[in-house]
Structure 1
């Protein structure tokens, strides 16, 4: 068996990275694509490697000569690479195709060795390697029959997003038997080129062949093996995080993205916090039905969006501000605080990170659960005077919860002490106590020293919309903050969500019942794992303490590398102690994490 690699293209979408180099000379984690691919192919002891070069062809030939590849290499030049497409490059190699069985590659791929193992170990002689379609994929797709027959090739012009559940993406690695090349591919390649010219794709020939009664070619479905196609700098960035050989570096790169994990479709994210049971499908259908309008129309300004938020939370318009996520509002609010600020540690770092540490006073509960009451806070800050106090309730990451009666006592005390009190109730809806919100007009009006923050993204399961609100009886400060943020800080999708949200309050209430039940079950199952102690939580996440001989960073790495699970380790937040924070997802996802933790921990202890 031989290999043919198509490497004539210019790689224009990689811009300056291919200004003087062909695309396959771009480096991923310090190694060029062609270097990696050739060494992977050489391990399979093929008879030869044929490479079709074009753009910067001599530079590529000279470079390959430095790589120490022992397998014989033949080069074919495509002199009109800038006026042809890959159908012509492959046609230049057709005399080689009919000499023996062939593995066909495009040179802009990066893949793990298991990819080659999968296609070579399959006894079927002619195969197209395919993977289930995901949103990051681009190019030719196929539809398959139950017997792996290719029922249809779907080029980009015929791609329908309504049918993506039925699509598989061609990986652009093929196995052609010599017989298939002689009787099917090369004759049809010649005919297709004669009819339609040289500026086409070689997959179009396969598309025609699959219409025959006996096309010979079947699909080989991947089962989780990793690969990526490098077309632009975004692809390059993602590929580096997937294929870095340094496991610690892979963890660092993934954590440093702070989201966007839909680009890693096999990754389950237990780090960032969600509501798995809301919004309901009907609400999503309503958003979809209005997509064209929302995409092409400007959103309303701050005044209208404040009106929508006021309607949804039953308070006055002058007492509420809408933000592009709670993070935007936190940044603005913290700039208005003067004097010393009290923080409870560990907590959501966006608050303390936005304030001068020399004017910060920390309260750290003296117990393993990091639990505290309103009385604990009052006692501590009576002795350690502050001008402002930040309380996240339930707290993040501990899940500690102060009941509403305790918060009202805290509000009364802070008013008496002339302390500006900020209560972040982004997770309060998940608590078992009913009717526990402090966003209440009567409470706000009586307490202008009180500011209440709420992340719509976290509570309502719409983090992609980036919505948060800040409510206060201090209308003057709210008015000033409205001038701080951009007049169009909320996009049309966020505005429309607020417009329709009231219709789905019953669905939201039902979703909260489900997530509370799942949280209780999740905590029980986590508690059964050896070496894990569960901290009681009233939020949509659970903090757990690990035995001393289990390091959280090591467990995080093992779960990510071996199981594609991302968790939050808390050693920095807890002065090096062995704590994790785990998001509550749906039952299926939570059970996946539990199985993985059992696999990693029960053999450790």
Structure 2
């Protein structure tokens, strides 16, 4: 896999004053913007082309990405509806039907992005996951009665199960056929006015029983993952960095 889409159009409202004058993707951890580290890690793993979807304070983000992307080819897609619609709209503007791609939110912070993750594993979609934290919500993988894993989008903590595994907002869409169906379902949702949905809702809708889902347990690769949605998330990440020492991130 050599192509990626990074969704960075949102306003990052939950980060409060931290995103008053800068896009969420430029929030810094250990002195480096989130998007810079993610792009560098992806490039080191073998990604050569990335599409960054911008919206809020897009000019700042475009200038930064253009000046720091190195040898990686960067395409920019602008989402003019970032204030009123969810990330399903951003992805709908960037996703190419039938083309395998790595899909990531811009707030993903990884201690490493192993190149092994990009190698074929027989799945149509592969999802890196970590253990679910107490009272955490969001997109999880849940094992069904048939022993298979399924994508479930939770919005309240009472909807989760202790055995669920939290996704890290990064998805490896491996098979062209799955991406084609996913794109079709997403366009149908957008044209049907379902723009309050997350793209993960459409991933779950597209998977069904037709496609094979692979799971990555980040701890098996000694990878620590954060999603920086709130000041508390940022504080937790910074605390982890301080405890881990100087060599915690392999970004270049």
| Band the TM-score falls in, shorter-chain normalisation | 0.7 to 0.9
1:283-306 alpha-carbon deviations (Å, 9 max, x no partner) = xxxxxxxxxxxxxxxxxxxxxxxx
Residue in 1 that maps onto 2:192: 195
Residue in 2 that maps onto 1:215: 211
Report which of the two structures shows the higher radius of gyration computed on alpha carbons.
1
Residue in 1 that maps onto 2:240: 242
Query: Closer, same or farther in 2 for the Cα pair 1:242/1:78, shift >3 Å?
Result: same
CA distance in 2, matches of 1:128, 1:249: 26
Where do 5+ consecutive residues of structure 1 fail to align? 251-605
Where do 5+ consecutive residues of structure 2 fail to align? none
- State the shift of 1:58 in Å: 1.0
Residue in 2 that maps onto 1:406: none
- State the shift of 1:233 in Å: 1.3
CA distance in 1, matches of 2:41, 2:102: 12
Residue 176 in structure 1 maps to residue 173 in structure 2: yes
CA distance in 2, matches of 1:37, 1:180: 27
Counting only pairs closer than 5 Å after superposition, residues 343-382 of structure 1 correspond to structure 2 as none
Residue in 1 that maps onto 2:110: 111
Residue in 2 that maps onto 1:226: 224
User: In proportion to residue count, which structure has more helix?
Assistant: 1
1:125-155 alpha-carbon deviations (Å, 9 max, x no partner) = 4212222211274422231249873335142
- State the shift of 1:226 in Å: 0.2
Higher RCO structure (Cα 8 Å, ≥6 apart) = 2
Residue 31 in structure 1 maps to residue 29 in structure 2: no
Query: Closer, same or farther in 2 for the Cα pair 1:168/1:68, shift >3 Å?
Result: closer
Bigger shift: residues 190-199 or 84-93:
190-199
Q: Secondary structure at the match of 2:37?
A: helix
Residue in 2 that maps onto 1:40: 41
CA distance in 1, matches of 2:41, 2:147: 26
Q: Tell me if the contact between 1:140 and 1:154 (Cα under 8 Å) persists in the aligned partners.
A: yes
Q: Tell me if the contact between 1:142 and 1:152 (Cα under 8 Å) persists in the aligned partners.
A: yes
CA distance in 1, matches of 2:43, 2:180: 28
Residue 120 in structure 1 maps to residue 118 in structure 2: yes
- State the shift of 1:191 in Å: 1.9
Query: Closer, same or farther in 2 for the Cα pair 1:22/1:155, shift >3 Å?
Result: same
Q: Tell me if the contact between 1:25 and 1:32 (Cα under 8 Å) persists in the aligned partners.
A: yes
Residue 93 in structure 1 maps to residue 89 in structure 2: no
CA distance in 1, matches of 2:108, 2:169: 8
TM-score normalized by the length of structure 1: 0.38
Q: Tell me if the contact between 1:88 and 1:199 (Cα under 8 Å) persists in the aligned partners.
A: no
